[in-house]
């Protein structure tokens, strides 16, 4: 990417941009062509008035993603942790395009657990935030490695929120079962 091209993605707080080509490729690795990527906007701003959105939280209520402190010019060039967050938020874009009412469900998302178990259910049988976590957690496992997945799971405030047996063979089989047919 040339410096001139790169500059078009650098936005100040309060700005907005479309996905980069790298971000589209990153999202396609999880969602294939089930999202209209040309309509996804990234905001470097609070969705909530008066900057009430938590500085470390991202929100995707309307098919557009709002980042405050975790904004990046190109998430495809960012860390595994930030790519996990990006894929989690893109999961909400995907859910919205499948007809899920993200705004209503999102109103209580701060009350619900993002933790889940891989117990044989299909992805569609999990609540909204758990679906997004399963997609993002599996993305880390498939894109990076079990070691990176395990590192993100073992943090004080873990990004990976799977409960139960976390041995590699068990979780790979569990994600395969939960995500069979995904993305639909």
DSSP secondary structure letters along 95-119? HHHTT--HHHHHTTTTTS---EE-S
Q: Tell me if 141 sits within 8 A of 174, measured CB to CB.
A: no
From the candidates 23, 64, 89, 129, give the one annotated as an active-site residue: 89
89 is catalytic: yes
Which residues are part of the catalytic machinery?
Answer: 89
């Amino acid at each position: 990417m040339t410096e001139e091209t790169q500059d078009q993605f650098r936005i100040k707080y309060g700005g907005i941009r479309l996905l980069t080509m790298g971000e589209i490729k990153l999202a396609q690795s999880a969602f294939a062509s089930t999202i209209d990527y040309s309509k996804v906007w990234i905001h470097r701003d609070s969705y909530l008035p008066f900057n009430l959105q938590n500085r470390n939280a991202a929100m995707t209520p309307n098919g557009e993603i709002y980042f405050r402190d975790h904004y990046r010019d190109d998430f495809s060039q960012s860390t595994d942790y930030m790519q996990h967050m990006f894929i989690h938020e893109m999961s909400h874009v995907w859910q919205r395009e499948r007809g899920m009412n993200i705004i209503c469900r999102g109103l209580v998302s701060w009350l619900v657990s993002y933790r889940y178990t891989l117990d044989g259910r299909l992805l569609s049988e999990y609540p909204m935030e758990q679906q997004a976590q399963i997609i993002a957690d599996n993305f880390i496992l498939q894109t990076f490695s079990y070691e990176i997945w395990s590192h993100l799971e073992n943090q004080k405030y873990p990004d990976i929120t799977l409960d139960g047996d976390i041995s590699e063979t068990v979780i790979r089989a569990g994600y395969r079962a939960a995500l069979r047919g995904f993305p639909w």
